[in-house]
Amino acid sequence: MFQSEIQVVTARNQPIRFRWKRQWYSILSIEDDRVDTGEWWNGEGEKTFYRVFAEDGVFEIYYDEKEKAWHMYRVYD
């Protein structure tokens, strides 16, 4: 798990492209999404996770509502 900040372009509140490690990836499809409330008792914000198929693989990214930032969470082989 990476949890590094990434840039994301959205349309209709859905991610459509992201930039990670100086490269842009177009999202071909969103295979799954889920909301995680996190450890709210420790001050964590709600996170929305997306498992996406992109040009070069399958990735899991998330939006942290508290930070107002996108992050790379996992890269699938």
Q: What is the pLDDT of residue 55?
A: 87
In this structure, are residues 46 and 34 in contact, taking their beta carbons and an 8 Å threshold? no
Q: What is the pLDDT of residue 31?
A: 97
- 1-25 pLDDT per residue, tens: 557 899 999 999 999 999 999 999 9
For residues 13-42, one letter each, b for 16 or more C-beta atoms within 10 angstroms of the residue's C-beta and e for the rest, the string is: eebeebebeeeebebeeeeeeeeeeeeeee
- 46-67 pLDDT per residue, tens: 999 999 999 889 999 999 999 9
Stated pTM of the model = 0.90
